[in-house]
Structure 1
Amino acid sequence: MRTSLFFLLIFCSFISCNSKPAESNAVIATTSWTAAYAFAAGASNVTVLAPYEMVHPSEYELRPGDIGRLTKSNMIVYAGYEVMVDQIKAGLKIPEEKMVKISTSYNFTEIETSVMLIARRLGTEKIAKKNLEEIKQLLLKGQDDVHKKGLDQQPVLVHFFQESFAKEMGINPTMIFGPAPPEPKQILEMARTKAVLILDNAHNPVGGSVKEILKNSEYKLLLNFPGLHQTRTIADVIRYNTDQLTAK
Protein backbone atom coordinates (compact mmCIF):
# COMPACT_ATOMS: atom_id res chain seq x y z
CA MET A 1 0.00 0.00 0.00
CA ARG A 2 2.76 2.45 0.92
CA THR A 3 4.68 1.59 -2.26
CA SER A 4 1.63 2.27 -4.43
CA LEU A 5 1.04 5.59 -2.69
CA PHE A 6 4.69 6.52 -3.12
CA PHE A 7 4.51 6.09 -6.91
CA LEU A 8 1.18 7.89 -7.05
CA LEU A 9 2.71 10.84 -5.23
CA ILE A 10 5.60 10.98 -7.69
CA PHE A 11 3.16 10.94 -10.62
CA CYS A 12 1.02 13.68 -9.09
CA SER A 13 4.09 15.83 -8.45
CA PHE A 14 4.85 16.03 -12.16
CA ILE A 15 1.31 17.20 -12.85
CA SER A 16 1.35 19.75 -10.03
CA CYS A 17 4.66 21.26 -11.09
CA ASN A 18 3.05 22.32 -14.36
CA SER A 19 0.21 24.18 -12.65
CA LYS A 20 0.26 27.50 -10.79
CA PRO A 21 3.56 29.14 -9.78
CA ALA A 22 4.80 29.19 -6.20
CA GLU A 23 3.28 31.72 -3.82
CA SER A 24 6.12 33.85 -2.48
CA ASN A 25 4.82 34.02 1.10
CA ALA A 26 3.30 30.54 1.33
CA VAL A 27 4.71 28.30 4.06
CA ILE A 28 4.02 24.60 4.37
CA ALA A 29 4.44 23.12 7.84
CA THR A 30 4.60 19.38 8.31
CA THR A 31 2.74 19.38 11.64
CA SER A 32 0.96 21.74 14.00
CA TRP A 33 4.19 22.10 16.00
CA THR A 34 6.31 23.26 13.06
CA ALA A 35 3.37 25.46 12.06
CA ALA A 36 3.40 27.05 15.51
CA TYR A 37 7.05 27.94 14.97
CA ALA A 38 6.22 29.46 11.59
CA PHE A 39 3.43 31.55 13.10
CA ALA A 40 5.74 32.69 15.90
CA ALA A 41 8.27 33.70 13.24
CA GLY A 42 5.70 35.98 11.63
CA ALA A 43 4.34 33.81 8.83
CA SER A 44 0.74 34.64 7.94
CA ASN A 45 0.05 32.12 5.17
CA VAL A 46 0.73 28.70 6.69
CA THR A 47 -0.67 25.37 5.52
CA VAL A 48 -0.41 22.43 7.91
CA LEU A 49 -0.18 18.96 6.38
CA ALA A 50 -0.95 16.76 9.41
CA PRO A 51 -4.41 17.69 10.73
CA TYR A 52 -4.54 19.53 14.06
CA GLU A 53 -6.75 16.85 15.58
CA MET A 54 -4.19 14.06 15.01
CA VAL A 55 -2.90 12.56 18.25
CA HIS A 56 0.31 11.36 16.52
CA PRO A 57 1.00 14.08 13.91
CA SER A 58 4.54 12.91 13.15
CA GLU A 59 3.09 9.68 11.71
CA TYR A 60 1.06 11.45 9.02
CA GLU A 61 1.72 10.18 5.49
CA LEU A 62 1.37 12.35 2.42
CA ARG A 63 -1.84 12.27 0.40
CA PRO A 64 -2.24 13.16 -3.28
CA GLY A 65 -3.92 16.44 -2.34
CA ASP A 66 -0.78 17.58 -0.52
CA ILE A 67 1.39 17.50 -3.64
CA GLY A 68 0.23 20.71 -5.26
CA ARG A 69 0.66 22.66 -2.05
CA LEU A 70 4.16 21.33 -1.52
CA THR A 71 5.36 22.12 -5.02
CA LYS A 72 3.88 25.64 -4.98
CA SER A 73 5.31 26.62 -1.61
CA ASN A 74 8.54 28.58 -1.29
CA MET A 75 9.21 27.22 2.19
CA ILE A 76 8.60 23.87 3.86
CA VAL A 77 9.23 23.85 7.61
CA TYR A 78 9.97 20.44 9.11
CA ALA A 79 11.69 18.90 12.13
CA GLY A 80 13.09 15.69 10.65
CA TYR A 81 11.26 13.07 12.70
CA GLU A 82 8.10 13.12 10.55
CA VAL A 83 7.29 10.06 8.41
CA MET A 84 6.39 12.34 5.50
CA VAL A 85 9.87 13.90 5.28
CA ASP A 86 11.37 10.89 3.54
CA GLN A 87 8.42 10.89 1.13
CA ILE A 88 8.94 14.57 0.34
CA LYS A 89 12.68 14.27 -0.19
CA ALA A 90 12.67 10.97 -2.05
CA GLY A 91 9.62 11.35 -4.25
CA LEU A 92 8.93 15.02 -4.95
CA LYS A 93 12.33 16.43 -5.89
CA ILE A 94 11.74 19.53 -3.74
CA PRO A 95 14.76 21.88 -4.00
CA GLU A 96 16.84 21.76 -0.83
CA GLU A 97 16.69 25.56 -0.46
CA LYS A 98 12.94 25.32 0.11
CA MET A 99 13.39 22.94 3.04
CA VAL A 100 13.87 24.60 6.44
CA LYS A 101 14.74 22.18 9.23
CA ILE A 102 14.11 23.34 12.78
CA SER A 103 14.45 21.94 16.28
CA THR A 104 11.17 21.57 18.18
CA SER A 105 11.17 21.69 21.98
CA TYR A 106 10.09 23.97 24.82
CA ASN A 107 13.58 25.05 25.72
CA PHE A 108 13.54 28.79 25.11
CA THR A 109 17.00 28.93 23.54
CA GLU A 110 15.98 26.29 21.00
CA ILE A 111 12.66 28.02 20.36
CA GLU A 112 14.43 31.33 19.74
CA THR A 113 16.98 29.78 17.38
CA SER A 114 14.36 27.99 15.28
CA VAL A 115 11.90 30.88 15.18
CA MET A 116 14.58 33.34 14.09
CA LEU A 117 15.83 30.91 11.43
CA ILE A 118 12.37 31.00 9.82
CA ALA A 119 11.96 34.75 10.40
CA ARG A 120 15.20 35.60 8.61
CA ARG A 121 13.98 33.66 5.59
CA LEU A 122 10.65 35.50 5.67
CA GLY A 123 12.03 38.93 6.53
CA THR A 124 9.80 39.09 9.62
CA GLU A 125 12.42 39.43 12.37
CA LYS A 126 10.61 42.28 14.12
CA ILE A 127 7.38 40.29 14.48
CA ALA A 128 9.32 37.21 15.57
CA LYS A 129 11.15 39.08 18.33
CA LYS A 130 7.84 40.40 19.68
CA ASN A 131 6.34 36.90 19.72
CA LEU A 132 9.47 35.47 21.33
CA GLU A 133 9.22 38.00 24.13
CA GLU A 134 5.65 36.84 24.83
CA ILE A 135 6.83 33.22 24.89
CA LYS A 136 9.72 34.08 27.20
CA GLN A 137 7.41 35.87 29.65
CA LEU A 138 4.98 32.94 29.69
CA LEU A 139 7.82 30.55 30.50
CA LEU A 140 9.07 32.82 33.28
CA LYS A 141 5.56 33.06 34.73
CA GLY A 142 5.27 29.28 34.54
CA GLN A 143 8.56 28.90 36.42
CA ASP A 144 7.28 31.24 39.12
CA ASP A 145 3.97 29.36 39.45
CA VAL A 146 5.75 26.00 39.63
CA HIS A 147 8.12 27.37 42.30
CA LYS A 148 5.19 28.69 44.36
CA LYS A 149 3.66 25.22 44.28
CA GLY A 150 6.99 23.71 45.36
CA LEU A 151 7.24 21.30 42.44
CA ASP A 152 10.83 22.34 41.76
CA GLN A 153 11.76 20.88 45.16
CA GLN A 154 9.87 17.58 44.95
CA PRO A 155 10.42 14.26 43.14
CA VAL A 156 8.81 14.31 39.70
CA LEU A 157 8.75 11.64 36.98
CA VAL A 158 8.81 13.01 33.44
CA HIS A 159 8.14 11.52 30.02
CA PHE A 160 11.12 11.72 27.66
CA PHE A 161 9.25 14.03 25.27
CA GLN A 162 8.27 16.41 28.10
CA GLU A 163 11.75 16.79 29.55
CA SER A 164 12.48 20.13 27.84
CA PHE A 165 9.25 21.68 29.12
CA ALA A 166 9.71 20.33 32.65
CA LYS A 167 13.26 21.66 32.88
CA GLU A 168 12.19 25.02 31.47
CA MET A 169 9.68 25.16 34.33
CA GLY A 170 12.48 24.65 36.84
CA ILE A 171 11.66 21.00 37.50
CA ASN A 172 14.62 18.68 37.87
CA PRO A 173 13.20 15.26 36.87
CA THR A 174 13.91 12.50 39.35
CA MET A 175 13.61 9.97 36.54
CA ILE A 176 12.83 10.08 32.82
CA PHE A 177 10.57 7.40 31.33
CA GLY A 178 9.44 6.57 27.80
CA PRO A 179 8.94 6.91 24.96
CA ALA A 180 8.47 3.12 25.12
CA PRO A 181 6.29 1.72 27.92
CA PRO A 182 8.41 1.16 31.04
CA GLU A 183 9.44 -2.39 31.84
CA PRO A 184 8.64 -3.96 35.25
CA LYS A 185 12.13 -3.21 36.58
CA GLN A 186 11.80 0.46 35.61
CA ILE A 187 8.35 0.68 37.16
CA LEU A 188 9.73 -0.60 40.46
CA GLU A 189 12.60 1.92 40.31
CA MET A 190 10.16 4.74 39.70
CA ALA A 191 7.92 3.54 42.53
CA ARG A 192 10.85 3.88 44.92
CA THR A 193 11.17 7.58 44.08
CA LYS A 194 7.86 8.31 45.82
CA ALA A 195 7.27 10.97 43.18
CA VAL A 196 4.45 13.41 43.88
CA LEU A 197 3.86 14.10 40.20
CA ILE A 198 3.98 12.10 36.95
CA LEU A 199 4.21 14.16 33.76
CA ASP A 200 3.19 12.04 30.79
CA ASN A 201 3.02 12.93 27.11
CA ALA A 202 -0.50 13.35 25.72
CA HIS A 203 0.57 12.19 22.26
CA ASN A 204 1.92 8.80 23.40
CA PRO A 205 1.14 8.30 27.11
CA VAL A 206 2.96 5.37 28.70
CA GLY A 207 2.92 6.32 32.39
CA GLY A 208 -0.36 4.67 33.36
CA SER A 209 1.37 1.63 34.84
CA VAL A 210 3.49 3.90 37.04
CA LYS A 211 0.40 5.73 38.23
CA GLU A 212 -1.08 2.37 39.28
CA ILE A 213 1.88 1.91 41.64
CA LEU A 214 2.16 5.52 42.85
CA LYS A 215 -1.52 5.91 43.63
CA ASN A 216 -1.08 9.13 45.60
CA SER A 217 0.85 10.89 42.85
CA GLU A 218 -0.74 13.47 40.58
CA TYR A 219 -0.82 12.37 36.96
CA LYS A 220 -0.77 15.02 34.21
CA LEU A 221 -0.85 14.75 30.43
CA LEU A 222 1.11 17.54 28.75
CA LEU A 223 1.13 18.62 25.11
CA ASN A 224 3.92 19.07 22.59
CA PHE A 225 1.95 19.47 19.37
CA PRO A 226 -0.74 22.19 19.38
CA GLY A 227 -4.22 21.05 18.39
CA LEU A 228 -5.80 19.39 21.38
CA HIS A 229 -7.69 21.52 23.90
CA GLN A 230 -8.07 24.46 21.48
CA THR A 231 -4.33 25.10 21.29
CA ARG A 232 -2.77 26.47 18.09
CA THR A 233 0.42 28.34 19.04
CA ILE A 234 3.53 27.78 21.14
CA ALA A 235 2.10 30.26 23.64
CA ASP A 236 -1.17 28.30 23.80
CA VAL A 237 0.66 25.08 24.65
CA ILE A 238 2.77 26.77 27.32
CA ARG A 239 -0.38 28.19 28.92
CA TYR A 240 -2.16 24.83 28.78
CA ASN A 241 0.78 22.85 30.18
CA THR A 242 1.43 25.39 32.92
CA ASP A 243 -2.24 25.26 33.93
CA GLN A 244 -1.99 21.47 34.14
CA LEU A 245 1.10 21.70 36.34
CA THR A 246 -0.30 24.24 38.76
CA ALA A 247 -3.98 23.21 38.89
CA LYS A 248 -5.13 22.18 42.33
Structure 2
Amino acid sequence: MARTRLPLTSLVALTVALTFTAACGSDTGASAEDGAGSPSAETAEDRDDGDGDQPVIVATTTWQGAFASAAGIDEVTVIVPQSVHHAPDYDPKPSDLAAIAEADFVLYAPFEPYAEQIRDAAGSGAELVEVDLDNDPDVVSAEVARLGALFGTESAAQEWNESFESELGELNSAIEDSWPDGESPRVVTQVYTGWAAKLAGATTVGTYGPEAVTPAQLAELSAEEPDLVLDNAHMSAGEVLPGSGAVQLDVVNYPGDDLDLLTVYRDLAEQLQQALAGS
Protein backbone atom coordinates (compact mmCIF):
# COMPACT_ATOMS: atom_id res chain seq x y z
CA MET A 1 0.00 0.00 0.00
CA ALA A 2 3.02 2.27 0.16
CA ARG A 3 3.23 5.22 -2.17
CA THR A 4 6.06 5.47 -4.68
CA ARG A 5 8.96 7.45 -3.20
CA LEU A 6 9.62 10.66 -5.09
CA PRO A 7 13.04 11.78 -6.36
CA LEU A 8 15.08 13.89 -4.00
CA THR A 9 14.44 16.95 -6.17
CA SER A 10 10.81 16.86 -5.07
CA LEU A 11 11.93 17.46 -1.51
CA VAL A 12 13.37 20.86 -2.34
CA ALA A 13 9.84 22.24 -2.05
CA LEU A 14 10.15 21.92 1.72
CA THR A 15 11.94 25.25 1.96
CA VAL A 16 8.96 27.02 0.46
CA ALA A 17 6.37 24.94 2.25
CA LEU A 18 7.70 25.60 5.72
CA THR A 19 7.39 29.36 5.35
CA PHE A 20 3.69 28.84 6.00
CA THR A 21 4.26 27.35 9.43
CA ALA A 22 2.13 29.20 11.98
CA ALA A 23 2.07 29.44 15.76
CA CYS A 24 0.26 27.00 18.03
CA GLY A 25 -3.47 27.58 18.09
CA SER A 26 -3.92 28.32 14.39
CA ASP A 27 -7.00 26.79 12.82
CA THR A 28 -5.64 26.41 9.28
CA GLY A 29 -5.08 23.19 7.40
CA ALA A 30 -7.43 20.80 5.66
CA SER A 31 -9.17 17.93 7.36
CA ALA A 32 -10.26 14.61 5.97
CA GLU A 33 -13.82 15.87 6.02
CA ASP A 34 -13.41 19.10 4.06
CA GLY A 35 -11.49 17.31 1.30
CA ALA A 36 -9.37 20.35 0.38
CA GLY A 37 -6.30 19.22 -1.50
CA SER A 38 -6.92 15.56 -0.65
CA PRO A 39 -8.63 12.61 -2.30
CA SER A 40 -12.23 11.84 -1.48
CA ALA A 41 -12.79 10.02 1.80
CA GLU A 42 -12.46 6.25 1.63
CA THR A 43 -11.93 3.50 4.14
CA ALA A 44 -8.80 1.45 4.59
CA GLU A 45 -10.69 -1.48 3.05
CA ASP A 46 -11.28 0.60 -0.08
CA ARG A 47 -7.55 1.31 -0.24
CA ASP A 48 -6.53 -2.32 0.32
CA ASP A 49 -4.57 -3.63 -2.63
CA GLY A 50 -5.60 -7.20 -1.90
CA ASP A 51 -2.65 -8.30 0.23
CA GLY A 52 -4.37 -7.53 3.55
CA ASP A 53 -1.76 -4.97 4.64
CA GLN A 54 -2.75 -2.17 6.98
CA PRO A 55 -2.73 1.36 5.58
CA VAL A 56 0.53 3.31 5.89
CA ILE A 57 0.07 5.87 8.68
CA VAL A 58 2.24 8.92 9.37
CA ALA A 59 1.47 11.01 12.45
CA THR A 60 2.91 14.44 13.09
CA THR A 61 3.43 13.70 16.83
CA THR A 62 3.33 10.82 19.29
CA TRP A 63 -0.09 12.03 20.44
CA GLN A 64 -1.74 11.38 17.07
CA GLY A 65 0.44 8.28 16.75
CA ALA A 66 -0.94 6.92 20.01
CA PHE A 67 -4.50 7.42 18.77
CA ALA A 68 -3.65 5.45 15.61
CA SER A 69 -2.00 2.71 17.67
CA ALA A 70 -5.05 2.48 19.93
CA ALA A 71 -7.20 2.21 16.82
CA GLY A 72 -5.32 -0.94 15.83
CA ILE A 73 -2.46 0.19 13.59
CA ASP A 74 0.66 -1.89 14.25
CA GLU A 75 3.26 0.48 12.77
CA VAL A 76 3.04 4.28 12.85
CA THR A 77 5.71 6.67 11.61
CA VAL A 78 5.97 9.76 13.83
CA ILE A 79 7.48 12.97 12.45
CA VAL A 80 8.02 15.20 15.50
CA PRO A 81 10.26 13.65 18.19
CA GLN A 82 8.68 13.17 21.60
CA SER A 83 11.35 15.43 23.09
CA VAL A 84 9.89 18.43 21.21
CA HIS A 85 7.19 19.71 23.53
CA HIS A 86 5.77 22.30 21.14
CA ALA A 87 5.12 20.57 17.82
CA PRO A 88 4.71 23.72 15.64
CA ASP A 89 8.31 24.64 16.50
CA TYR A 90 9.66 21.53 14.80
CA ASP A 91 11.58 21.91 11.54
CA PRO A 92 10.83 18.84 9.37
CA LYS A 93 13.67 17.08 7.58
CA PRO A 94 13.85 15.62 4.06
CA SER A 95 13.47 12.16 5.58
CA ASP A 96 10.13 13.29 7.04
CA LEU A 97 8.96 14.27 3.57
CA ALA A 98 10.04 10.91 2.23
CA ALA A 99 7.93 9.15 4.88
CA ILE A 100 4.90 11.28 4.08
CA ALA A 101 5.34 10.63 0.35
CA GLU A 102 4.67 6.94 1.04
CA ALA A 103 1.72 7.41 3.40
CA ASP A 104 -1.94 6.61 2.92
CA PHE A 105 -3.02 8.80 5.83
CA VAL A 106 -1.29 11.70 7.59
CA LEU A 107 -2.66 12.46 11.07
CA TYR A 108 -2.32 16.02 12.32
CA ALA A 109 -3.86 18.61 14.65
CA PRO A 110 -5.21 22.04 13.67
CA PHE A 111 -2.47 23.80 15.64
CA GLU A 112 0.06 22.09 13.33
CA PRO A 113 -0.82 23.94 10.10
CA TYR A 114 2.34 22.80 8.34
CA ALA A 115 0.90 19.29 7.84
CA GLU A 116 -0.79 20.16 4.55
CA GLN A 117 2.23 22.07 3.27
CA ILE A 118 4.53 19.17 4.16
CA ARG A 119 2.29 16.71 2.35
CA ASP A 120 2.16 18.92 -0.72
CA ALA A 121 5.92 19.47 -0.63
CA ALA A 122 6.43 15.73 -0.57
CA GLY A 123 4.08 15.31 -3.52
CA SER A 124 2.05 12.79 -1.54
CA GLY A 125 -1.48 11.77 -2.30
CA ALA A 126 -2.00 10.94 1.36
CA GLU A 127 -5.30 11.82 2.97
CA LEU A 128 -4.99 14.36 5.77
CA VAL A 129 -6.91 13.36 8.90
CA GLU A 130 -7.42 15.98 11.60
CA VAL A 131 -7.33 14.41 15.08
CA ASP A 132 -9.04 16.00 18.07
CA LEU A 133 -6.14 15.99 20.52
CA ASP A 134 -7.86 15.94 23.87
CA ASN A 135 -7.27 13.28 26.51
CA ASP A 136 -10.79 13.63 27.83
CA PRO A 137 -11.92 9.97 27.93
CA ASP A 138 -15.08 10.63 25.92
CA VAL A 139 -13.09 12.34 23.16
CA VAL A 140 -10.45 9.61 23.14
CA SER A 141 -12.99 6.81 22.82
CA ALA A 142 -14.82 8.58 20.00
CA GLU A 143 -11.62 9.35 18.10
CA VAL A 144 -10.26 5.82 18.44
CA ALA A 145 -13.55 4.40 17.14
CA ARG A 146 -13.58 6.88 14.24
CA LEU A 147 -10.01 6.08 13.24
CA GLY A 148 -10.66 2.36 13.52
CA ALA A 149 -13.53 2.71 11.06
CA LEU A 150 -11.38 4.80 8.72
CA PHE A 151 -8.45 2.35 8.81
CA GLY A 152 -10.54 -0.82 8.69
CA THR A 153 -9.45 -1.89 12.18
CA GLU A 154 -12.77 -1.54 13.99
CA SER A 155 -12.43 -4.70 16.07
CA ALA A 156 -9.04 -3.71 17.47
CA ALA A 157 -10.29 -0.20 18.21
CA GLN A 158 -13.34 -1.54 20.04
CA GLU A 159 -11.18 -3.91 22.08
CA TRP A 160 -8.85 -1.06 23.06
CA ASN A 161 -11.77 1.17 24.04
CA GLU A 162 -13.14 -1.55 26.31
CA SER A 163 -9.80 -1.97 28.09
CA PHE A 164 -9.45 1.82 28.27
CA GLU A 165 -12.80 2.21 30.02
CA SER A 166 -11.97 -0.57 32.46
CA GLU A 167 -8.56 0.82 33.39
CA LEU A 168 -9.87 4.37 33.76
CA GLY A 169 -12.38 3.10 36.31
CA GLU A 170 -9.62 1.47 38.32
CA LEU A 171 -7.40 4.56 38.18
CA ASN A 172 -10.23 6.86 39.18
CA SER A 173 -11.09 4.67 42.18
CA ALA A 174 -7.47 4.58 43.31
CA ILE A 175 -7.22 8.37 43.12
CA GLU A 176 -10.46 8.85 45.04
CA ASP A 177 -9.05 6.63 47.79
CA SER A 178 -6.31 9.26 48.16
CA TRP A 179 -8.67 12.22 48.61
CA PRO A 180 -7.87 14.03 51.87
CA ASP A 181 -10.69 13.37 54.34
CA GLY A 182 -12.61 11.70 51.53
CA GLU A 183 -13.44 15.04 49.91
CA SER A 184 -12.99 15.90 46.24
CA PRO A 185 -9.91 18.12 45.83
CA ARG A 186 -10.33 21.67 44.56
CA VAL A 187 -8.25 22.30 41.46
CA VAL A 188 -7.30 25.04 39.04
CA THR A 189 -6.54 23.77 35.55
CA GLN A 190 -4.86 25.07 32.43
CA VAL A 191 -7.32 25.11 29.52
CA TYR A 192 -5.79 21.93 28.07
CA THR A 193 -5.62 19.90 31.29
CA GLY A 194 -9.30 19.66 32.17
CA TRP A 195 -9.17 15.92 31.45
CA ALA A 196 -6.74 15.52 34.36
CA ALA A 197 -9.23 17.04 36.79
CA LYS A 198 -11.87 14.68 35.41
CA LEU A 199 -9.61 11.68 36.02
CA ALA A 200 -9.06 12.83 39.60
CA GLY A 201 -12.77 13.33 40.22
CA ALA A 202 -11.76 16.82 41.31
CA THR A 203 -13.83 19.97 41.62
CA THR A 204 -12.58 22.57 39.16
CA VAL A 205 -12.72 26.03 40.74
CA GLY A 206 -10.95 27.96 37.99
CA THR A 207 -9.08 27.79 34.70
CA TYR A 208 -6.35 29.82 33.05
CA GLY A 209 -4.32 30.03 29.86
CA PRO A 210 -3.07 29.47 27.38
CA GLU A 211 -1.74 32.95 28.07
CA ALA A 212 0.21 33.67 31.26
CA VAL A 213 -1.83 34.37 34.40
CA THR A 214 -2.42 38.09 34.93
CA PRO A 215 -2.19 39.72 38.37
CA ALA A 216 -5.99 39.96 38.48
CA GLN A 217 -6.33 36.27 37.63
CA LEU A 218 -3.72 35.38 40.22
CA ALA A 219 -5.74 37.06 42.93
CA GLU A 220 -9.02 35.57 41.72
CA LEU A 221 -7.74 32.01 41.39
CA SER A 222 -5.80 32.10 44.65
CA ALA A 223 -8.94 33.25 46.45
CA GLU A 224 -10.57 29.94 45.47
CA GLU A 225 -8.04 28.18 47.75
CA PRO A 226 -7.31 25.29 45.37
CA ASP A 227 -5.54 22.18 46.57
CA LEU A 228 -3.91 21.55 43.21
CA VAL A 229 -2.90 23.43 40.08
CA LEU A 230 -2.88 21.21 37.00
CA ASP A 231 -0.45 22.94 34.65
CA ASN A 232 0.31 22.00 31.04
CA ALA A 233 3.86 20.59 30.87
CA HIS A 234 4.04 21.49 27.18
CA MET A 235 3.17 25.17 27.65
CA SER A 236 4.34 25.86 31.19
CA ALA A 237 5.33 29.37 32.22
CA GLY A 238 6.56 28.36 35.66
CA GLU A 239 4.76 28.59 38.99
CA VAL A 240 1.16 29.54 38.31
CA LEU A 241 -0.17 30.57 41.75
CA PRO A 242 2.84 31.50 43.89
CA GLY A 243 2.02 31.91 47.55
CA SER A 244 -1.34 30.16 47.27
CA GLY A 245 -0.20 26.96 48.96
CA ALA A 246 -1.57 24.87 46.08
CA VAL A 247 0.51 21.93 44.87
CA GLN A 248 1.31 22.31 41.18
CA LEU A 249 1.50 19.26 38.91
CA ASP A 250 2.86 19.29 35.36
CA VAL A 251 0.38 17.35 33.26
CA VAL A 252 1.92 15.58 30.26
CA ASN A 253 -0.44 15.19 27.32
CA TYR A 254 1.88 13.51 24.82
CA PRO A 255 2.66 9.78 25.07
CA GLY A 256 6.21 8.49 24.77
CA ASP A 257 7.85 6.84 21.78
CA ASP A 258 6.03 3.59 22.60
CA LEU A 259 2.77 5.36 21.59
CA ASP A 260 1.01 3.95 24.65
CA LEU A 261 -1.74 6.41 25.51
CA LEU A 262 -2.68 4.50 28.67
CA THR A 263 0.74 5.28 30.15
CA VAL A 264 -0.21 8.97 30.17
CA TYR A 265 -3.16 8.20 32.44
CA ARG A 266 -1.21 5.81 34.66
CA ASP A 267 1.61 8.30 35.18
CA LEU A 268 -0.79 11.13 35.98
CA ALA A 269 -2.75 8.93 38.39
CA GLU A 270 0.47 8.22 40.28
CA GLN A 271 1.28 11.94 40.43
CA LEU A 272 -2.18 12.76 41.71
CA GLN A 273 -2.11 10.05 44.37
CA GLN A 274 1.25 11.23 45.67
CA ALA A 275 0.17 14.88 45.71
CA LEU A 276 -3.13 14.17 47.45
CA ALA A 277 -1.54 11.85 49.99
CA GLY A 278 0.74 14.70 51.01
CA SER A 279 -2.08 17.25 51.34
Match of 2:205 in 1: 174
Conserved in 2, the CA contact under 8 Å of 1:222 and 1:244? Answer: no
CA distance in 2, matches of 1:166, 1:206: 20
SS in 2 for 1:61: coil
Secondary structure of the 1:158 match is strand
**Equivalent residue of 1:7, what SS?**
helix
Structure 2 segments unaligned to the other structure (5+ residues): 1-12, 20-48
Deviations 1:185-228 (A, max 9, x none): 11111111111111111111135041x221x321111110113x
Q: Indicate the larger mover: 181-190 or 101-110.
A: 101-110
* Structure 1: unaligned runs, 5 residues or longer: 11-21
Q: 1:240 deviation in Å?
A: 0.7
Code of the aligned partner of 1:141: E
User: Is 2:98 aligned against 1:71?
Assistant: no
The correspondence for 2:227, drawn from 183, 189, 196, is 196
Q: Which residue of 1 aligns with 2:237?
A: 206
Q: Is the 8 A contact 1:30 1:78 kept in 2?
A: yes
CA positional deviation for 1:106:
1.7
What is the distance in 2 between the residues matched to 1:75 and 1:200?
A: 32
The residue aligned with 2:163 is: 134
Task: Tell me the equivalent position of 1:237.
Answer: 264
Which amino acid letter does the alignment assign opposite residue 195 of structure 1? P
Match of 1:80 in 2: 110
Report the equivalent of 1:52. 82
- Alignment of 1:98 with 2:107, yes or no, is no
Offset of residue 175 of structure 1: 0.4
- Change in CA separation of 1:83 and 1:174 when aligned onto 2, cut-off 3 Å: same
Q: Secondary structure at the match of 2:237?
A: coil
Query: Counterpart in 2 of 1:148?
Result: 177
Write the distance in 1 (CA, Å) between the matches of 2:243 and 2:124. 50
- Following superposition, the deviation at residue 94 of structure 1 comes to 4.3
Count of equivalent residues: 230
SS in 1 for 2:203: coil
2:17 and 2:121 in contact (8 A); partners too: no
Point out the more displaced range, 48-57 or 147-156. Answer: 147-156
The residue that corresponds to 1:18 in the other structure is: none
The counterpart of 2:196, out of the listed 145, 165, 187, is 165
Instruction: Give the equivalent residue in structure 1 for 2:42.
Output: none
Measure how far apart 1:87 and its partner are.
Answer: 2.3
Asked if 2 retains the 8 angstrom alpha-carbon contact of 1:41 and 1:128, the reply is: yes
Q: TM-score, normalised by structure 1?
A: 0.82
Q: CA separation in 2, counterparts of 1:75 and 1:204?
A: 28
User: 1:157 and 1:49, CA in 2 relative to 1: closer, same or farther beyond 3 A?
Assistant: same
For normalisation by structure 2, the TM-score amounts to: 0.74
Aligned equivalents of 1:9 and 1:154: distance in 2? 44
1:14 aligns with none
- Which residue is equivalent to 1:17? none
Q: Which residue of 1 aligns with 2:252?
A: 223
Identity %: 24
Question: 1:9-28 CA deviation, whole Å, 9 max, x = no partner?
Answer: 79xxxxxxxxxxx9863210
State the alpha-carbon separation in 2 of the partners of residues 176 and 149 from structure 1.
Answer: 23
Provide the rounded CA distance (Å) in 2 between the counterparts of 1:122 and 1:53: 28
Q: Which amino acid aligns with 2:163?
A: E
